């Protein structure tokens, strides 16, 4: 017998399928806070697994949407509200239709955004000139 650490949220019917295959599964039922945290981890997992060249891209989208809808339910945010916020952001900031990808941004030292980028070096590392 071999035991493997699994540590992840699964869909409701998967447990039954695992047990029907003779697998012994240790599991617990999460409380709300744990569940939201696990859904967040699942969203990251599904996002990292997403491959637009995969034949099953529609199924991957469905997995992402399932997790998003469940998160919205747990956080008591109606999907209609999420879609409205999406539309409002699109109106204000646009969509991604123009496929714009910013590689670097150069700011004056007095620009208020400098502080933000400096405080978030993990996401926006500063490019040293002449190095």
pLDDT digits (tens, 9 = 90+) for 44-73: 999 999 999 999 999 999 999 999 999 999
Range of the domain at 89: 12-93
Cβ 49 vs Cβ 43: under 8 Å: no
What gap in Å lies between CA 32 and CA 76, rounded to an integer?
12
Which structure tokens are listed for 35?
């569940």
Instruction: Convert the pLDDT of each residue in 91-104 to its tens digit.
Output: 999 999 999 999 99
Residue 128: inside a domain: no
Residue 53: inside a domain: yes
What gap in Å lies between CA 60 and CA 62, rounded to an integer?
5
Residue 114: inside a domain: no
Residue 2: inside a domain: no
Per the structure, the count of domains in the chain is 1
């Amino acid at each position: 017998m071999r035991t493997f650490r699994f540590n992840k949220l699964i869909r409701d019917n998967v447990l039954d399928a695992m047990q029907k295959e003779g697998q012994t599964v240790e599991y617990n039922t999460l409380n709300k806070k744990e569940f939201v945290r696990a859904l967040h981890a699942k969203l990251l997992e599904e996002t990292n697994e997403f491959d637009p060249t995969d034949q099953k891209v529609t199924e991957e989208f469905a997995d992402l949407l399932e997790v998003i809808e469940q998160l919205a339910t747990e956080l008591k945010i109606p999907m209609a509200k999420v879609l409205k916020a999406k539309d409002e952001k699109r109106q204000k900031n646009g969509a991604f239709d123009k496929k714009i990808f910013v590689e670097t941004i150069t700011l004056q030292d007095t620009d208020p955004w400098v502080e933000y980028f400096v405080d978030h070096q993990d996401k926006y590392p500063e490019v040293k000139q002449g190095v």
